[in-house]
A = this chain, B = another copy of it.
Amino acid sequence: MASERPLRADARRNRERLLSVAVQALSREGAAVSLEAIARQAGVGIGTLYRHFPTREALIDAAYQGELDRLCDRVEDLLAAAPAQRALRAWMSHFVDYMGTKRGMGDALRALIASGGDPFARSRDRLTGAVATLLGAGRADGTLRADVAPDDVLVSLSGVSLATAERRDRDQVDRLLDLLMDGLRPR
């Protein structure tokens, strides 16, 4: 694999312009933006947009990658401030919040979490890594089970996000997360 030949100059220019327009458009109009509008605004043809970002999810994913990194970075702070169990619970909240805020991240998320495919692998790995760190700390301090795979937790978490996407019922989300946590504690 790999062999990422460095993009041609014009290609990189276009890619960047598309991304910056997309970020604005997404936070302004939500996930259902017209891709054609984005292309137009970026001054490129629709074909160019699709070449750089083969699916709507790919575009959204790329647009939010920065913030998603920040989400993963919080793990350290959380672990410094509380025992693993509490840190994990807090991070879950942040995760769901984030997915909720960025309207339409939801759909991208499903593709992302489900992807065995390469395109989103980076984001996926970051998320799995974050969960793994939290679970690891939990195993160390004994507040979390040791026999659960990070990936399973991540997928469960995405399930909660997806299932609660439309009726934004904060209380229910909390209850679902608590339920999940109950399953993650040693008996």
Q: Check B156 against A172 for contact (C-beta < 8 Å).
A: no
Number of interface residues of A (CB under 8 A): 32
Answer whether A114 and B182 are a contact pair too, CB < 8 Å, given A156-B160, A172-B155. no
Q: Check B159 against A163 for contact (C-beta < 8 Å).
A: yes
For A162, list chain B residues within 8 Å (CB): 110, 159, 162-163
Answer whether A156 and B163 are a contact pair too, CB < 8 Å, given A179-B180, A187-B187. yes
Q: A113-B163, A152-B179 are in contact. List 17 more A-B contacts (CB 8 A).
A: A110-B165, A114-B165, A114-B167, A149-B175, A155-B163, A155-B172, A156-B163, A156-B176, A158-B163, A159-B161, A159-B176, A179-B183, A179-B184, A180-B180, A180-B183, A182-B183, A183-B183
Measuring CB to CB, which residues of chain A are less than 8 angstroms from any residue of chain B? Answer: 110-111, 113-116, 148-149, 151-152, 155-156, 158-167, 172, 175-176, 179-184, 187
